[in-house]
Amino acid sequence: MSRVRIFAALIAAASVTAPVQAADEPAAAEAENSRIDAAVAFAKALTNGATVALTDETADEATRLENFRVVLADGLALDTIGRFMLGATRKTMSDEQTARYNAIFPQYITKLYAEQFDEIVGKPLEVVDAKQIGARDVIVRTQFDRKDNAPIMVDWRIRELRSGDRKAIDIIVSGVSIMLVKREEFSSFIETNGVDALLDRLEVEAAG
């Protein structure tokens, strides 16, 4: 093939692919905006559900915590969070230890997040920003206004699962990620005391 024909072929190919690429860009932007909107709606719904559960004046404290646990079980990727907090330790745990951890973790994390949510339930929520991180995650930045103090900033990391469902994989309150804090805490505690001692501690804290 002559150079003229090769050049002509390249021009023809460019004229075909360029419009396709240009057409793909708006579609990709629209898909990203749709994911962001869905993540924002999810964060709002999770906050509303937590507020209803934790402020139900007709229920006692145990019932409120149980209702809150149901909200978290539906809204959080508890398996992902639980595995992350254990880090590499989970690969060395026995089946019995793993079963014990999986049994106590939902109650433990419920108590932990209930303390965090206590600061924000019932307060006005404002979405400050939202952006996509990677292919499946969206960070939704919110603030909860307080009358006499600075607003509480809460970042929600929402992941779209392969099933199409959305779950929160981290909730960062005032710049502090419970997932990261507890991962480091668990690792240090296990190094000094062992896995069984950690499980004993989690059971005590969950019951308290």
Per-residue pLDDT of the chain (208 residues; tens, 9 = 90+): 554 454 344 434 445 555 555 556 776 677 778 889 999 999 999 989 988 998 899 999 889 888 988 998 899 999 999 999 999 999 999 999 999 999 999 889 888 888 888 778 878 889 999 999 988 999 999 999 888 788 899 999 999 988 889 999 999 988 999 899 999 999 999 999 999 999 999 999 988 7
CA–centroid distance for 149 within its chain: 26
Spatial contact of 80 and 169, defined as CB atoms under 8 Å apart = yes
Phi-psi region of 136 (alpha: psi -120 to 50; beta: other; left: phi over 0): alpha
Instruction: List CB contacts of 193: < 8 A, sequence separation 6 or more.
Output: none
Instruction: List CB contacts of 74: < 8 A, sequence separation 6 or more.
Output: 49
Q: What residues pair up with 152 in beta bridges, in sequence order?
A: 144
What is the CATH topology of the domain spanning 33-207?
Nuclear Transport Factor 2; Chain: A, (3.10.450)
Domain boundaries, the chain: 33-207
Instruction: List CB contacts of 80: < 8 A, sequence separation 6 or more.
Output: 159, 167, 169
Strands 125-133 and 152-160: unpaired
Q: Which two tokens stand for residue 115?
A: 């303390």
